Amino acid sequence: MKAAAIALALLCAPSAWAQALTPYIWNDVTGDRDMPWLGRGGRAHYFKRDVTKPWDIMNPRGPTIETRWGASGGTGEDPSQSADRAVAYLQRVGALKGWPAYPAVEGRPGALAYPFRVTIVCLEPLVAILRFDLSAASPDPIEFFEGAMPPSLQGVAAVDQQVGSGGLANATMFGSRVSARGTLQWFSPDGPQVPTPIDLSSGRARIATKGVTLELEKRGDEVIVIRR
């Protein structure tokens, strides 16, 4: 039943958003999403804008919806572009070198079988955490992908905590919580900072880059990220 609910949420999301959005303006649809921190302070917000033209009503792809996250829709970045930048940086610094790729699909390069989950925890600067997880190397079936989330974000709401894959086998996640299973590293394309191990042996750790400090605290099966 849970898998069916998640699948239904994924299929219905575009049309549901289109009905709820005020056309041509940025709508704050953050809702219950666990959002990344902003370097300037506070949490990022999630925005959508319906720019569908009247003559697009027969478009088989559905309504044209733009998405941004940040302090405002006008100044924010497309979440998929943030994910692409994060993965592109990993590629640039050699972190993805040597990992196999799946066969190409319709002329597009095959996804990389990279055994780490990527979670964006801060914007401006972009900071992400890598969590070692062998299952990340293969695409998650719908009924299993929520298991990659920390316990408090599992369930139907998990579909709202991920963005584009950037060329990896699984989608990039986001928020201020990461599962505590598996070793962790952090990196920042904006720092820049290559993947660096996170030592949580004391239950606490710190990330510092470009004047922004993030405190990490292990609480049960989750690691909580707090901006200081």
Q: Is the peptide bond before 141 cis (omega within 30 degrees of 0)?
A: no
What is d(CA 194, CA 93) in angstroms, rounded to the nearest whole number?
Answer: 7
pLDDT confidence band for 144 (50 / 70 / 90): low
- Nearest alpha-carbon partner for 80 in 9, 172, 152, 191: 172
- Nearest alpha-carbon partner for 185 in 61, 86, 103: 86
What are the backbone dihedrals phi and psi of residue 81, each rounded to the nearest 5 degrees, phi first?
-70, -35
- Nearest alpha-carbon partner for 36 in 205, 143, 219, 173: 173
What is d(CA 228, CA 226) in angstroms, rounded to the nearest whole number?
Answer: 6
Report the share of the chain in percent with pLDDT over 70.
87
Average pLDDT (123-140) is 94
Look up the pTM and report it: 0.87
